[in-house]
Amino acid sequence: MSIAFTFPGQGSQSVGMGKDLAEAFPEARAVFDEVDEALDQKLSEIMWNGPEDQLTLTANAQPALMAVSMAVMRVLEANGVRLAEKVAYVAGHSLGEYSALCAAGAFSLSDTARLLRTRGNAMQSAVAVGEGAMAAIIGLEHADVEAVCAEVLPVGICQIANDNGGGQLVISGSKAAVEKAAALASEKGAKRAIMLPVSAPFHSDLMAPAASAMQHALDLVTKNDPVVPLIANVRAAPVRDAGEIAQLLVTQVTGQVRWRETVEWFGANDVTTLYEIGSGKVLTGLARRIDKNVTGIAVNTPADIEAAVKTLLG
């Protein structure tokens, strides 16, 4: 039986996140200071005090969520938890993949912050506001949603962006195509088809300009092989080569986040506990729905960290 650390994606942000960590632990405070310096912005001020609409901006939310995850990691490390000794794998949901790689030593903290700022800006500017959309489809199988996407292709791009498990899939693409697919999914028996309040059609082919921007950005940073394998979003299988990981990060911009398959892979490979490192408890909830034999544990408060240290070092 082994352990994996997972790292949350966009949507897990909330005003105030990480403030208790900064006040309790100098190691956490140092993370937020370094991210602020790397971005030449007081991102921590927005994280702790808002306004919420500024924190929700993709270019802010992505490095902010990574910063909280890394603050937790640095405190765990200061208390004797060594990733390479205690953890078999890392994985992250979309932007969380960058947090996972930073935690595993593939990127420096400053480079990760700058990569995510580039990623957020590139994803936001890839498609004009109002031209793209995303929708959550609840209660249809993966193959059925794929069929719906194929059926609306004459209208425009529409594809599965996230397979979150528990019967929840997210589709992404041109607004007209996604709206038609959502209506069609309801006709075909989906329990719910909900248009999502997002600013861009993430993880769709419309993000191709952002993929090019990330290719360039990743070419310029120092990359190391992670100290433990990454279960990559677009492959749902372990990868450890830094060059290959960088290419998969480019593919991930337009590709599907295969989270259900990731958790299923953990379950099939004797990984019984997933510690969710960072803001919120989204991945912990998804783990429970995907595989009853996999336990999710959220770690984001000082008390959570204390409990995790006791368990991991006990």
- pLDDT truncated to tens, each residue of the chain (314 aa)? 899 999 999 999 999 999 999 999 999 999 999 999 999 999 999 999 999 999 999 999 999 999 999 999 999 999 999 999 999 999 999 999 999 999 999 999 999 999 999 999 999 999 998 899 999 999 999 999 999 999 999 999 999 999 999 899 999 999 999 999 999 999 999 999 999 988 899 999 999 999 999 999 999 999 999 999 999 999 999 999 999 999 999 999 999 999 999 999 999 999 999 999 999 999 999 999 999 999 999 999 999 999 999 999 98
pLDDT at 198: 86
pLDDT at 199: 82
Residues 214 and 107 in one domain: yes
Domain limits for position 25: 2-126+206-313
- Just list the catalytic residues: 94, 203
According to DSSP, the residues that pair with 159 across neighbouring strands are 172
Residues 215 and 177 in one domain: no
CATH number at residue 97: 3.40.366.10
Chain-centroid distance, C-alpha 219: 21
Residues 191 and 218 in one domain: no
Residues 261 and 231 in one domain: yes
Q: How far apart are CA 104 and CA 97, in angstroms?
A: 11
pLDDT at 197: 87
Residues 137 and 180 in one domain: yes
Number of H helices and E strands in the chain, helices first, is 15, 10
Task: Tell which of 177, 198, 219 closes a domain.
Answer: 198
Q: How many CB atoms lie within 10 A of CB 303?
A: 11
Q: Shortest CA distance to 261 belongs to which of 292, 291, 304, 226?
A: 291
Task: Tell which of 198, 232, 251 closes a domain.
Answer: 198
Residues 267 and 188 in one domain: no
Q: How far apart are CA 47 and CA 60, in angstroms?
A: 9
Residues 224 and 308 in one domain: yes
pLDDT at 314: 86
Residues 234 and 104 in one domain: yes
pLDDT at 129: 86
Determine the 3-state secondary structure of 76 from DSSP.
Answer: helix
Task: Tell which of 146, 164, 198 closes a domain.
Answer: 198
Residues 154 and 122 in one domain: no
Residues 22 and 137 in one domain: no
Claim: this prediction has a pTM higher than 0.75: yes
Residues 182 and 245 in one domain: no
Residues 185 and 234 in one domain: no
| Number of domains the chain contains | 2
CATH number at residue 155: 3.30.70.250
